[in-house]
Structure 1
Amino acid sequence: MTAPHFHSTTEGRRIAYIRTMPEGDGANLPGIVFLGGFRSDMEGTKALWLEERARAEGRAFLRFDYSGHGQSSEDFLDGCIGDWASDAAQVIAAQAMGPQILVGSSMGGWISLLLARERPERVAGLVGIAAAPDFTEDSMWEGFSDKQRAEMEATGRVALPSDYSDEPYIITARLIEDGRRNLVLRSPLRLPFPVRLLHGTDDTDVPLTVPMRLISHAQAHDMRLTVMKGADHRFSAATDLHLIWSAVAEVTASLG
């Protein structure tokens, strides 16, 4: 495991990151930034594989942990979408040069869209992997039973079972409330750059209706969805990983 560097945000959070500097002809191409998912970290399969490919092609590459994730500071339960989007914006501004190709996995897809909305000049293109915009509202809150909503109101949190861990997900009222302030599918969303969305038919966390809704909602001139038969939410099988890099290459080529 490569030892990370740390970026201190204006709020005092310490964000762990690892940056690969460009070499050769790759230095003339936009850098690539990987944005991970909810409760994931920058040591995951997709992040490391993309870093390896970027390094092989001399491309700048940046991966990092949101606050409360991985090797960054803070407690996960204190975090929310707005905090994590701010973490991403600040570390990208400080550690990446010029417009970047954002590769967002699951929640990272939502974070990428927030960055594209707030700082479009820093985004050269976007690749969404099982992107999950607005999931705190449309998946979590809408999926709560009356009993769970009452529990949230009484205690400020609800425990949900996880398919990826023996420990349940603790969903806080702050996460839900802040998510409502950062929704991207309820107001105009302009994406003036190449966008590629990748989704699996066996994704049980984010239904295929989500990327379809995003395509219908966004104002974009070059936006495509590729559906991979048999791929699940992790999207980390060998064929999935090659498809991700193909999407990055396609976005790069579209930029001329």
Structure 2
Amino acid sequence: MTEMLTTPQGRTLALNRVEGQGPAVIFLGGFRSDMEGTKALHLEGWARENGRAFVRFDYSGHGASGGAFEDGSIGDWRDDAAAVLDTVPGPKILVGSSMGGWISLLLARDRGDVAGLVTIAAAPDFTEDGYWAGFDEAARAQLAETGVVHVPSEYGEPYPITRRLIEEGRAVLVLRTPLSLPMPVRFLQGTADVDVPEAWAHRLLAHAEGDDLRLTLVKGADHRFSDPDCLALIVASLEEVLGRLAA
């Protein structure tokens, strides 16, 4: 059953919760995605089968949550995720996909209740290193003048990339300052991902600091990372993190 949560900032979020054993697993979806995606639902099924506490949710401006996508930013969506985490007692395991990987890195760095992390095609700093770096002078001028540039997407309608998204994103970058991850972390990345280059995964692994960090590359996997083998790898990585904590 879908719950509605009002955040400290006054935004309304939709979430689905499975009661069970902790540490709870929380799925953080990607840019313009929602909690009804293949990976989120697959993990919910795993949680139900294993009696594991689990939460999936929509950021503001996404899915069933309130607000307009164009009004949001990485910091806003980080705060949305933090509000969800605050409803879950005890340590948490985060599974962050794409933008959710960036947000989960922020939470793992800044909070004391993140006990483990799995990222899927993590996209830290993508507003700067992806969109802004890829804009030509005309696009940058349009962004400055109108406040928005519409970028084609293979997933549907063009994405509105706002000036606020770019400018606010610079306040929450994670690859320009130390990134301490003192918990079990598993980074997953497909080599055929055209949205998040494989090089970004190597950069993240090289930059992050921690004693239990591993990167797994899947040859031929794309950004969706949702075929049966990829879904099985996500679960296996999650179970490995949980096993590390139990040990």
Judge same fold: TM > 0.5, yes or no.
Answer: yes
- AA of the residue aligned to 1:216: A
Q: Which of 161, 167, 179 pairs up with 1:171?
A: 161
Distance 2:219 2:179 in 1: 28
2:62 matches 1:69: yes
- Residue identity over aligned pairs, in percent, reads 59
Secondary structure of the equivalent of 1:161?
Answer: strand
Distance 1:67 1:82 in 2: 11
Q: Which of 206, 210, 214 pairs up with 2:200?
A: 210
Distance 1:212 1:220 in 2: 15
2:184 matches 1:191: no
Q: Which of 155, 172, 179 pairs up with 2:146?
A: 155
Q: Which residue of 1 aligns with 2:5?
A: 7
Q: Cα distance, 1:221 vs. partner?
A: 0.5
2:121 matches 1:123: no
Distance 1:241 1:54 in 2: 13
Distance 2:128 2:26 in 1: 26
Distance 1:35 1:139 in 2: 20
Secondary structure of the equivalent of 1:30?
Answer: strand
- AA of the residue aligned to 1:98: G
Q: Which residue of 2 aligns with 1:228?
A: 218
Q: Which residue of 1 aligns with 2:171?
A: 181
Secondary structure of the equivalent of 2:230?
Answer: helix
Q: Which residue of 2 aligns with 1:85?
A: 78
Q: Which residue of 2 aligns with 1:16?
A: 14
Q: Which of 2, 27, 38 pairs up with 1:34?
A: 27
Q: Which runs of 5+ in 1 are unaligned?
A: none
More strand by share: 2
- AA of the residue aligned to 1:210: W
Distance 1:137 1:126 in 2: 23
User: 1:243-254 alignment to 2 at 5 Å?
Assistant: 243-254=233-244
Distance 2:55 2:213 in 1: 24
Distance 2:36 2:240 in 1: 25
- AA of the residue aligned to 1:117: R
Q: Cα distance, 1:36 vs. partner?
A: 0.1
**So what's the TM-score if we normalise by structure 2?**
0.98
- AA of the residue aligned to 2:14: A
**So what's the TM-score if we normalise by structure 1?**
0.95
- AA of the residue aligned to 2:79: S
Secondary structure of the equivalent of 1:196?
Answer: strand
Distance 1:251 1:213 in 2: 22
Q: Which residue of 2 aligns with 1:114?
A: 106
Distance 1:197 1:171 in 2: 26
- AA of the residue aligned to 2:10: G
Q: Which residue of 2 aligns with 1:43?
A: 36
Distance 1:211 1:127 in 2: 13
Q: Cα distance, 1:122 vs. partner?
A: 1.2
Distance 1:205 1:13 in 2: 29
Q: Which of 211, 223, 228 pairs up with 1:238?
A: 228
Distance 1:91 1:46 in 2: 19
Secondary structure of the equivalent of 2:167?
Answer: helix
**Cα offsets for 1:180-232 (capped at 9, x unmatched):** 00000000110000000000011000001111111111111000000011110
Distance 1:91 1:238 in 2: 28
Secondary structure of the equivalent of 1:203?
Answer: coil
Q: Which runs of 5+ in 2 are unaligned?
A: none
